[in-house]
Structure 1
Amino acid sequence: MATVTFVESDGTSHEADLVEGESLMQIATGSAIPGIDGDCGGEAACGTCHVIVSDEWVTTTGKATPVETQMLDMSPECSPNSRLACQIVAAKAMDGLTLRLPEFQM
């Protein structure tokens, strides 16, 4: 089965099954990944599913949309590869994806 790994700011990693068609936020919350809250339910309106994509995965996951960027710009931990996990739809090509989590969600 395909997997995605979420790495907390302290280095603790959590692996979850990658379910094609679900958002990475749905996968994280369904797998009780600490640090991903998804308070708005996936509407890109809260910033509580902020993840940081490594350079080698940006082509696969895509870049942040203007709506995401507007929300992420409010985070002190925003980076060029910051995304909202609710806006990344899982695909088979993401097998092995590792995402870093900021220390604090908004």
Structure 2
Amino acid sequence: MGAFFGTGMAAESQFHVLAVDDSLVDRKLVERLLETFSYQVTTVDSGSKALEFLGFREHEDEEAEELSSSDSPSVSPNNHQKVEVNLILTDYCMPGMTEYIC
């Protein structure tokens, strides 16, 4: 695990973590902890938003307002940009998601 937390990563190949949790406190804790290791961290508050961020789900009209009003990054999967995520951390039990959906 020591090599995993190493600081020898080049800026252009920064390790990107997607943290998914419905608890704001937990998201902020994970974000701050990982940023101390110079990781790029994106946080979202639901499995649906994580799938949307990764480009696996279309942006639905009723979720548009939620996404723009939350502390989630304003990244739209519809712009077809390549999102490279090296690690996804998820809460094991979130409303509206099952292990089959995620």
TM superposition score normalised by structure 1:
0.29
Of structures 1 and 2, the larger Rg is shown by 2
Structure 1 or 2: more strand by fraction: 1
Give the TM-score normalised by structure 2. Answer: 0.30
The structure with more helix, counted as a fraction of residues: 2
